[in-house]
């Protein structure tokens, strides 16, 4: 049995939920999100709670049960609180600047990297800390991974872009011959 799927998703007053067949529509203060279940799970709305249940005892049905419950919960959390990822830019001469809907990164290449900021995503810069905020957990994680990929941290000096909570295990460099 799915331990995740058993728990109901609590709906706060600031979010409106509508279940029509296999489609669930969430409407918050800033955005509207939809979740299509394709008839893989049974969804009920009772007393400001979404209750998910498996259609049968097949392993695939139980997997969908927990997955769709987690996706619905992420949408509710995203519409009420939002999600954020923080990246740290380390290295001499490595800089970032947010101008309009464009993120400009100077990471030691011969040219600056320009990354367009998607709609619904907010980026703020505080010294060497880049914070990415938005209501879609998957989108925020994907954007953070794409930015990190421009210059991943290296193990000798620790230069590059890393997550704020990421720990880089440092390696010892070459030693001089005696």
- Residues in the chain with pLDDT values less than 70: 1-2, 178
How much is the pLDDT for 11? 93
DSSP output for 141-170: HHHHHHHHHHS---TTT--EEEETT--PPP
pLDDT recorded at residue 2: 56
CATH class belonging to 83-163: alpha beta
Cα 28 from chain centroid?
18
Which strands form 102-106's sheet, in the order they lie side by side? 95-99, 102-106, 113-116
- Nearest in space to 28 (alpha carbons), one of 140, 138, 136, 144: 136
Residue owning tokens 């990415």: 132
Tell me what pLDDT residue 58 has. 81
Cα–Cα distance for residue pair 80/73, rounded to 1 Å: 11
Q: Which two tokens stand for residue 38?
A: 């394709």
**Cβ-based burial of 178 (10 A; exposed 0-12, middle 13-18, buried ≥19):** exposed
What pTM, to 2 d.p., does this model score? Answer: 0.87
Q: Which CATH number fits domain 9-81: 3.90.930.12, 3.40.720.10, 3.40.50.720, 3.30.2130.30?
A: 3.90.930.12
Domain boundaries along the sequence of the chain? 9-81, 83-163
Question: Is residue 72 helix, strand or coil?
Answer: helix
Backbone angles phi, psi at 145, to 5 degrees: -65, -40
């Amino acid at each position: 049995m799915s331990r995740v799927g058993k728990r109901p998703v609590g709906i706060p007053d600031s979010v409106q939920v509508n279940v029509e067949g296999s489609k669930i529509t969430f409407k918050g203060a800033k955005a509207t999100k939809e979740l299509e279940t394709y008839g893989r799970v049974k969804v009920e709305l009772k007393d400001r709670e979404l209750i998910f249940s498996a259609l049968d005892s097949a392993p695939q049905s139980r997997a969908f049960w927990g997955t769709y419950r987690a996706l619905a919960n992420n949408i509710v959390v995203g519409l009420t609180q939002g999600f954020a990822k923080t990246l740290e830019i380390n290295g001499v001469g490595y800089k970032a600047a947010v101008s309009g809907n464009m993120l400009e990164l100077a990471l030691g290449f011969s040219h600056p990297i320009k990354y367009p900021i998607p709609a619904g995503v907010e980026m703020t810069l505080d010294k060497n800390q880049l914070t990415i905020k938005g209501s879609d957990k998957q989108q925020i994680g994907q954007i953070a991974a794409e930015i990190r990929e421009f210059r991943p941290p290296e193990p000798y000096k620790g230069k590059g872009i890393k997550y704020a909570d990421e720990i880089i295990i440092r390696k010892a460099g070459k030693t001089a011959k005696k």
